[in-house]
Structures are given as structure tokens and as C-alpha cells.
Chain A
Amino acid sequence: MSGARRRALRTVSSLGFWVFMTLLTLIPIWWMFVVSMRSRVELFSRPNLAISRLFLENYSNVLTDSTFQRYMTNSVVVSSCNAALVMALALLATYALSRYKLVGRDNIFFWLITNRMAPPAAFLLPLFIMFTRSFRIGNWTLFDTQLGLILLYCVFNLPFAIWLLKGVVDGIPIELDDAAMIDGAGLGGVLRHVVIPLAAPGLAVTGILSWVFAWNEYLFAANLTSVEARTITTGLAEFVTVTGTNWGELAAMSMITLIPSAIIVIVAQRYIVMGLTFGAVKE
């Protein structure tokens, strides 16, 4: 009897705790939503967390804007291609680092990781020169192309992905590889039938987080694109103007950009936890 009551009490207290946490998490997002539902003249009244009326103009303005649609498409293409590329390259790289006796393996691994540490602002100028001058074929340059961003985002996504997958691939017993090889599988076969199935959760989480990081990137996108390949985050910055930041539309746009990543996370929630172990011991 008392055990059942204690259990019930525990459930209630954890429920209460989580409701509180959820409120903490959601209040800023809710506030953004409230702002997105207000006209400009209503914004500066006394702060009020309630939505007084359905005001959809901010959303309709953003959604019907053709530049916004282009930015959104660019963001989707860039993040998705980058995530796919990063998954593929990181898998090959971690497999190499895990299974082959490469000279200076640990140092290579560490150097790969250091690529994420560079302060991005300092690299804008060399990257700009590279994008506009070094990679030039006739009139074509990497500047303002989706390809440019897809490749560039590898700089901060690959280190993360390799770090994440290294533990996962290390955790797959090498005997399984050997067994597959004894059965006559080539490298492709081993990857396809042994490594990929076992590393699937890790790969999934790599892909998801790479996608999110790419989706969220601002500084590079702002400086290395102009019109064609601008992404949605640069669109957000465009609302900050001399004659009044358009907070309502900025909030509406933020809400819209939240949706795709939220869907992905909801769908892939299970894999994220399974994949994020960084090779923690599994028995």
C-alpha cells in the first residue's frame, strides 16, 4: 500500500518537474510565437504573454515572398546534401581510422577535430578569395552557389561526425569484418552488410545533427552568398534595418524555420539517443 503510494507520489513529482521544465523550454518559443502574431504597433504595448487575436499578416507576408521561398529551398538543399555528404565521408574516414594501421593515426584524428575550433570570422577573407578567385572556371565560381556551402559546411560538420562515429565504429567487433571477409565480401560488402547496419543509429544521429548545424549556420552563408544561394538564416538578418527591425516577420520566419528541424527531430528521436553514445561501453 505504502509502496504504491510512494510510486504514485514519485510519478506525480516527476510529472510536475517535467511540466515545469517544459514551461521553461517553451516560454521563449511561445514568446516568439506571440510576437509573430502581433502587428508592429501592438508590439510595444505592455508585455503580455497572451495572444489577443489571430493576426496572420506576418506569416502571409513571409510565406508569399518569393525570396523567402528561394531561401528556404536553398537551406533545404544545402543542409540535406551536406548531411548526406558528411555521413558518407565520415563513415569512410572513421572506418579507415578504426581498422587500418595508418601512420600518425591519432594525430590525424586530432587534426580533423581541430577544424571545428577555428573562429569562423577570421576565415571569411581567405574563404571569400578562394570562393571568388581560386575556384573559377570561366565565369563560374564557387561564390553564391549551393555547392560552395555544401562543401564548406564539411569543415565544421565532418570533425563532429567523425568524432561521433569513431566510437561507434570502434565498438563494432573487428571479428565481424573478418567473418564477412572470409565469406568473400569485399570492402563494399563489409561496409554494406556489417558496418552500416550496426552503425545505423550512429549514422542517423550524425546525419540529423549535421543537418541541423548546416541549417543553422549564418556567418559563412551571409558572406559567401549573394542572391542565388542565400539561406534562410541570412534571411533572418535581413529584417534588422535602420528604419525599424521588423520583429513580427522575423519571429514568423523563425517559427517557420523551426518546423522542418522539429519534424526531423520528432521522427528521429529514438535514433538520437541510441546513436549519441560516442562509443560508450556496450556489453
Chain B
Amino acid sequence: MGEYISQMRNPRTGWLLLSPTLIILIIFGFMPFLYVLVVGFFDWNVFAAEDGMRFNGLGNYRRLVFDDLFLLSVGLTIRFAVFAIVSEVVFGFLLAQMLTRNFPGKSIFRIIHTFPLMIAPIAVGAIWRLLVIPGFGPVPFVLDRWFDFTYQIGTYPDQALATSVIMDVWHWTPFVTLTMLAGLSAIPREPVEQAKVDGANRLQVFWYVTLPFLRPVLLTTVFIRIMDAIRTVDEVWMLAGGGPGTRFTGIYIWRVTSPGASADWGYGSSISLITLYLTIVLCWLLFIAISGRRKGEVE
């Protein structure tokens, strides 16, 4: 019977199971990636005086190091991602913690809380634009009348950035809440009880018991949010058109490559690759953090 099992565990079967996934991702993920990789070494703009692609070596990469707009967009993207993700994790955790308690109407509150998650990013951007455009939205009106605060996302880049962070927090905190809730409800009771018996206060219980158990869920959630936050385009484009304060890398790439804007495919490809590379490095570090912990657990 053992033979039967090891025969069932033949790697060839494994590859077979994996193959449809690999085929689809190679065709629709890896092939376009190769294309972008190659184009990144060329000077190619369809509206240039001369037609066609010209090999440019690392010229595009040299250009992006001195491209103020690109560097600005990287800085903005990082600020956006950090502010948004940190807030989402903190709020998400607190809300999940509250949801582990019992109180009347809990499930209704939880369902309402997840609504934003279900709205298409482009609609989210539209909603928030309607909320914050002066002369139309209630937010600037209220801030101006009650607090004498001038709120114009078109005039103040910091307000635009803050608005996109708040919008992202509104949209994605529910996702974090749900994963945290799942993580919290999977924590066994005994260690917590034991720690309490040993005289740990709430902070200590959180730090030494809850957090280690929660770590894989936490890191995974952050990982997924980082991937998505860096790629953000639709919402912010709809909100502020990707103007000052919101020109994130995703939007910058879109402007550079869009045939109705710069139509600069060579340069756009090199920016995309650098962005992808930075994202991968960031995620790889997180990945090591997660899997490292898992290995430690096995030993």
C-alpha cells in the first residue's frame, strides 16, 4: 500500500496538476513581461520622426535616474503605501478585535463594514471625487463653514495625497479586518488563558501571545496590500487625475505609455520594470520573513 501512496506522490503528477496554472501565467503573465523587458532597452515612440525601435542599451534606465517626475512618483507611492497600509492594519486589527466580542447586531455591523470592499475602484474614485470637489461635495463645504478650513485637492498636493490615503483606507480596511478576524479566531484559547494565569497584562498577552500567532496572517495581509497599493491606478485617476500629490508610479507609467499622452513605450517599459523590481524586492523580504518563521517552527 505504501508503494501505491508513493506512486501517487510522483512529482510528475504534481507537475501535471500545476501545469494549467503555469501555462496560463506563462502566456498572460510571463510573455508580456519578456516583451516589456526587451522593449525597455529600446528607444521607441510611435510619434517619433523616425519609425520603429532603436536599440538604446541602458539609456532608458539612465534617463529615469534623472527624471524628477519619476523620482517624485516613487516617493509619493511609498508615502501613499506606508500611510495607507499602516492605518489599515491598525484600524483593521482594532476592528477585528472588537468583532471578536459579542454584542447585539454584530453580524449586521460586520456586513456593512465590508461594503466598500465590494465597490469597483473606479466607482470608489468617482464617489470620493463627488465628495471632495468644491462646489459639489459636502466635505469641503463642511470644512469651510464649520472649521474655516480650505480644502481643495486641486490646489494642495498634500491634501490630494491625504485624500487618496483616506480613500484607500476606507476602501481596504474591511479586507484587513476580515483577515485579522480570521486570524484572531484561529488563535487557540489555552496559551492566552495560560498567560493570564501567569499574570501577564493585556499588552503583554498581545505582544507575546496574540502577535506571534497572528504574524503569518498579518504579514500576508500586508504583502497583498503592498502589491495592490503600488499598482493603484483607477481609483486615484478618477479622484484627482493623477495630478500633483497623486502622481503615483502606476499612474505615471500609464501616462508615459498611453498612446494619447507620451506614447513612449521604451521608457515606459523601463519604468515598469524598475517598479516591478522594487515591488518584488520588498515582497521577497517579507516572504523571507514569513517562510523563515515557518521553517523555525518545524525545527
A105-125 contact mask (Cβ, 8 Å, vs B): 1 or 0: 010101011111111111111
Tell me the bound Cα distance from A182 to B6 in angstroms.
Answer: 11
B224 and A273 contact, CB distance less than 8 A? no
Tell me the bound Cα distance from A100 to B18 in angstroms.
Answer: 10
Tell me the bound Cα distance from A101 to B11 in angstroms.
Answer: 6
A59 CB within 8 Å of chain B: no
B29 and A115 contact, CB distance less than 8 A? yes
A110 and B257 contact, CB distance less than 8 A? no
B135 and A254 contact, CB distance less than 8 A? no
Q: How far is the CB of A248 from chain B (nearest CB, A)?
A: 10
Q: Report which of B16, B130, B178, B250 forms a contact with A35, defined as CB distance below 8 A.
A: B130
A260-283 contact mask (Cβ, 8 Å, vs B): 1 or 0: 011011100100111111111111
- Given A108-B18, A117-B279, A262-B118, A236 contacting B123 (CB threshold 8 A): yes
Who on chain A is nearest to B38 by CB?
A126
A147 CB within 8 Å of chain B: no
Neighbouring B residues of A265 by C-beta, 8 Å? 111, 114-115, 117-118
Tell me the bound Cα distance from A220 to B156 in angstroms.
Answer: 31
Most buried by B among A95, A114, A130, A233: A114
Q: How far is the CB of B232 from chain A (nearest CB, A)?
A: 10
Number of interface residues of A (CB under 8 A): 103
B296 CB within 8 Å of chain A: no
B272 and A162 contact, CB distance less than 8 A? no
Q: Report which of A22, A90, A110, A119 forms a contact with B250, defined as CB distance below 8 A.
A: A119
Neighbouring B residues of A261 by C-beta, 8 Å? 118-119
Number of interface residues of B (CB under 8 A): 106
B182 and A219 contact, CB distance less than 8 A? no
Chain B interface SS verdict (over half): helix
Interface residues of A in 146-188 (CB under 8 A from B): 151-152, 154-155, 158, 160, 162-163, 167, 178, 181-182, 186-187
Neighbouring A residues of B119 by C-beta, 8 Å? 29, 216, 254, 257-258, 261
A181 and B5 contact, CB distance less than 8 A? yes
B227 and A278 contact, CB distance less than 8 A? no
Neighbouring A residues of B280 by C-beta, 8 Å? 114, 117
B109 and A22 contact, CB distance less than 8 A? yes
Interface residues of B in 140-191 (CB under 8 A from A): 141-142, 170, 174, 178-179, 181-183, 185-188
B33 and A92 contact, CB distance less than 8 A? no
Who on chain B is nearest to A95 by CB?
B17
B123 and A254 contact, CB distance less than 8 A? yes
B138 CB within 8 Å of chain A: yes
Of the A-B pairs whose beta carbons lie under 8 Å apart in the complex, a sample of 12, sorted by A's number, is A22-B109, A115-B25, A116-B227, A117-B283, A118-B276, A122-B273, A151-B24, A154-B28, A155-B25, A236-B120, A269-B110, A274-B182
Query: Which residues of chain B have a CB within 8 Å of any CB of chain A?
Result: 1, 4-5, 8-11, 13-18, 20-22, 24-25, 27-33, 35-36, 39, 95, 98, 101, 103-105, 107, 109-123, 126-128, 130-131, 135-138, 141-142, 170, 174, 178-179, 181-183, 185-188, 213-214, 216-217, 220-221, 223-224, 227-228, 230-231, 233-234, 249-250, 253-254, 257-258, 265, 268-269, 271-273, 275-276, 279-280, 283-284, 287, 291
